[in-house]
Amino acid sequence: MESSFLLLRLVLLASALTLGACNAGCPSAGLKPNFYGSSCPNAEQIVQTIIYKEAEKNPILPAKLLRMFFHDCFVRGCDASLLLNSTSESTAEKDAPPNLSLAGFEVIDMVKEALEQACPGTVSCADIVALAARDSVSFPFGKSLWDVKTGRRDGNVSLLSEALVNIPRPTSNFTTLVRSFANKSLGVEDLVILSGAHTIGVGHCNLFAERLYNFTGQGDSDPSLDPAYAAFLRTKCSPTDNTTTVIMDPGSGLKFDSHYYVNLKQNKGLFQSDAVLLTDGAASKVVDAMVDFGAFIAAFRNSITKMGDVGVLTGKEGEIRKHCRFVN
């Protein structure tokens, strides 16, 4: 117990030190708490009111908006490029295969419309995505689970090709995942901790069917997947099913908690990208520490903040879009 606690302290310290170093030397230093305190004092309250209302109506919304935030930040940084529609000249990130199952765009539009009425041309779509992810996950708790620094500006470029290259795949091995996260100045601890977001939401059958039916090309299943869980998944998904979804965290799929790590330790991680977290010694130790909910929340707070700093536009960079789906 004492060694586990020491490990957790080291993990959190490493995250805090990395966060501090980035804030000192990265473009994200332009972000700050309550950025809109003078220019749009009610901005964050407007976002929270709408998101809380929508999350109450749709319990799966937190998973949707959290995934949207992740996918946005991993391509060109957290600049809301994901929200842009394709044009006749260019196919946007939104239409890349990894993003076709994203949802919640209409909620972002709703928030943007309200903010444009209150404070025209002031609050960026990039900040709306960051705040909406936080507020939707926080809704069941009745309080904000982490602070969001604001001051992001909106990008004006969105390319399908960049989404294909930068968004981690659910079939990725550990080395590929580590490299993908390192490219965003995120470490192994962040990889394991942010994977904990899979405690809410669903996964499409086609993203893990190979683990059930043809893992090595011999018609077999992934031996690292719990056999009983694999059998259950085969009752839900056929080898060619592209539409059915299953809960990613069986037993706790709508509750933001640390149950994902409990399932993971029982070899019930849905995706290959989940299972491979147990194949590395350092990552596996973080998994062990994150089973404790208090430890997970504290660590998640650090890692999601670091992710929200990735590649942001600040100052006079980018623009403040009038509509999140279109450049000005």
The C-alpha atoms of residue 234 and residue 140 are separated, in whole angstroms, by 32
Coil, strand, or helix at residue 245? strand
Residue 61 CB contacts under 8 Å (≥ 6 apart), including other chains: 51, 54, 55, 104, 107, 136
Contact assessment for residue 30 and residue 308, using Cβ atoms and an 8 Å cutoff: no
d(CA 152, CA 310): 11
Q: Which of 197, 239, 199, 232 is nearest to 217 (CA)?
A: 239
Q: How far apart are CA 173 and CA 180, in angstroms?
A: 11
List CB contacts of 220: < 8 A, sequence separation 6 or more: 214
How far does Cα 173 stand from its chain's mean position?
18
The answer to whether residue 323 is catalytic is no
**What's the DSSP call for residue 203?**
E
Buried/exposed code over 261-276 (b: 16+ C-beta within 10 A; e: otherwise): bbbbeebbbbbbbbbb
Catalytic residue, chosen from 71, 198, 204, 259, is 71
> Is 202 in a helix, a strand, or coil?
strand
Place of tokens 């998640």: 300
Token pair 């470029």 in the structure block, residue: 157
- How far apart (Å, rounded) are the C-alpha atoms in residues 249 and 269? 8
What are the residues facing 245 on neighbouring strands? Answer: 204
Q: Which residues are catalytic?
A: 71
